[in-house]
Structure 1
């Protein structure tokens, strides 16, 4: 007959199983806590990538501008800022269009404008100005030197070997391409070669 104080074997085994299961749960929870903690630490320590805007590159991408002083027979004379490649028609439009008394036939609307130019629109019956639209200088410079950017057909015709037809080509090139930037630009005018350029070099300026 078994003693009354001996533990029941059937009761001991389930109790041990319960202890083992509880320990396993504790271990799993601890592992999860460690994993979450490592993830939080890594997230906090990961460097943040900053994107820097290149201000110079942004400014360089901005479109170029030209300043044109529109005066004379227009609705609103003044200084206007136009985009690069603008033409006389754009400058006149910016100034509110022609005035009622404007001599529209005296203005070449298709001519490109240049930065710093003064565009003077004449009224009907008014003699168009012969001054340089950019500098205000007269068509013929001091000492009899002819300014290629302002000289009219009659003035260009006074140059040696330059007749009315070639003078007209010079004016047409100027109207189509803008100001001459150097005397060498004359080589782009049909009919002017190296020899003629050398004969004109001391007689013209830009």
Structure 2
């Protein structure tokens, strides 16, 4: 499948190395911060991809070897900048929509489910239930990587359901700053 688009800078020019005659995107410099993004759904190779900071959704899809023939890219804002730890779900044509939006734009980034318009935690959409969330779902939360997500699940298995979000501070590695960033993104329901 051909790339979704070529890069265009804010002034409308094509950066060197990203034009139609280039051999590919320019290599990030040693000072470029790399982001990890989970690309799922109707892509050739779903999984976690590494992208330079400032990358766009279309670049994340390209990093997953492009969209499949059944992908419905109209439900995504391909020009939106991706954030570290985000999940981008590329819906298939006819796939049911959750009806939510990500950051108000309907990009399909988030943990809301299988639809192209799933929500990112804390963007006014659904919160992640720490009593039922998988390691993968917890890993999409900001500043919570796979190791911390596994610790949350392990604690839940050992101690039972969380009675409140505040119980997260009992987990090794979750300090006041992380607790503050998670307060509005997670919930405890059932168990």
Q: So what's the TM-score if we normalise by structure 2?
A: 0.40
Q: So what's the TM-score if we normalise by structure 1?
A: 0.37
Query: Greater Rg, structure 1 or structure 2?
Result: 1
